[in-house]
Structure 1
Amino acid sequence: MTRILILYYSSYGHVRDLARAEAEGALSVPGTTVDIRRVAETVPGAVRRSAGYVPDMTPVAAPADMANYDGILFGTPTRFGMMAAQMKQFLDQAGGLWARNSLVGKVAGVFASTGSQHGGHEAVLLSAHIPLMHFGMLIAGLPYSFAGQTSAEGIHGGTPYGAGTIAGADGSLQPTATDLDGARFQGAHVARIAARMASGAVEEAA
């Protein structure tokens, strides 16, 4: 079985919705198992409630968990053009995995939510690739074989660098059908590549 981890941080639920679609896509690939986990919250509960953050009962991951998977999809909202601090803190705790080369050769992808079409959508996806490459992971984006990202009808996320959605300045927009289809496509794309990589590793070991 190919093991895929969908790991995300979400404040208002947009990234969580994308994470669930990524999981659906990965599960569409035969022989794939998927776990959905979130990174730990660092914002105090009172602040979360006053800001209207959505409750989230998804199990929390530990950095060491990443070593147990063949592919990992990372989801984050955009914070001033970069990944959320919660996701960065999670990755910063993975120094032991980096030192042991535990993530080298694993497949990775990134998906994101942004407040506006020009609010750092591509910047967060590209900058999130940097620490993953330091870990030795292989980056899979959202290829143009997903034709939905070329549509000019309406407001939707998604770039060659990863799936995404536009939440609106007040967070009132929800992921479109195109956004969710892009996330499913990326989930399946990563799962298929991870399966090929894992199969090759088994053949080499034999």
Structure 2
Amino acid sequence: MSDDVNIAVIYYSSTGTVHQLAEAVVAGAAEAGATVRLLRVAELAPEEVVASSAPWAAHTAATAHVPVATPEDVQWADGIVFGSPTRFGNVASQLKQFLDTLGGLWGRGSLADKIYSGFTSTSQLHGGQESTLLALYNSVYHFGGIVVPPGFADPIKFVDGNPYGTSHVVGGQGEIPVDETARSAGVFQGRRVADVTRALKAGRRA
């Protein structure tokens, strides 16, 4: 029987930082041999609000080709990695709204026993990275899911510094680009999620 695993990387990003982290997670999962879907959640902000910010409008246009996530993508996946910028120490409303559409799958038990993980970004140092990921994982506990954080399971995490999930500080004006440390942490996280998911599937077949 095939040991292939399906990984969905589902994220919200307004100006591109979380999107770049998502691409790193995708790369890591793909390196581990997983079939990966990169998916964004729907934008909830009014068009005029998005248009009022040049970086926001530019990123929205540049990622219009990325498929919008659906509950069917979550059903398909063996492992899901969610990405969200911090909003006052919590998950962005766009991603939270998507999570709230999964009630049907939850009611059928279809969210249970899958692997879940998360990543984030903030404008400021100590801007709520850990609390955002912990808030995200609250939903996973209700799903009956299995949280697989990166921990400090790779030396890069001692540099990245966040065992809850890959994270990056972008600065108040978005002036700090995603660096090699953050990308490497994302790649490691994607690879770890794929590897643990594969091991779980193999154990169930044994």
TM-score (norm 2): 0.92
Greater shift, 48-57 or 161-170, is seen at 48-57
Corresponding residue to 1:101 among 109, 124, 129: 109
Q: 1:29 and 1:64 mapped to 2: Cα distance? A: 23
Q: Which amino acid aligns with 1:139?
A: V
1:64 and 1:94 in contact (8 A); partners too: no
- Aligned ranges 1:23-172 → 2 under 5 Å: 23-30=26-33, 32-52=34-54, 53=56, 54-55=59-60, 56-57=63-64, 58-151=66-159, 157-172=160-175
Q: 1:167 and 1:79 mapped to 2: Cα distance? A: 14
2:43 and 2:94 in contact (8 A); partners too: yes
Greater shift, 3-12 or 170-179, is seen at 170-179
Deviation at 1:159, TM superposition (A): 0.7
Any unmatched runs of 5+ in structure 2? none
Deviation at 1:65, TM superposition (A): 2.1
Corresponding residue to 1:197 among 197, 200, 204: 200
Greater shift, 171-180 or 106-115, is seen at 171-180
Deviation at 1:158, TM superposition (A): 4.8
Q: 1:195 and 1:125 mapped to 2: Cα distance? A: 23
Residues matched between the structures, number: 197
Q: 2:32 and 2:96 mapped to 1: Cα distance? A: 29
2:23 maps to 1:17: no
Q: Which amino acid aligns with 1:137?
A: G
Corresponding residue to 2:6 among 3, 24, 32: 3
Any unmatched runs of 5+ in structure 1? 152-156
Runs of 4+ in 1 over 6 A off after TM superposition: none
Structure 2 SS opposite 1:111? strand
Greater shift, 181-190 or 116-125, is seen at 116-125
Structure 2 SS opposite 1:78? strand
Q: Which amino acid aligns with 1:130?
A: N
After superposition, the C-alpha distances for 1:108-160 in whole angstroms (9 at most, x for unaligned) are 00000111111101110111100011101100111212222323xxxxx5511
Q: 1:145 and 1:178 mapped to 2: Cα distance? A: 15
Identity %: 39
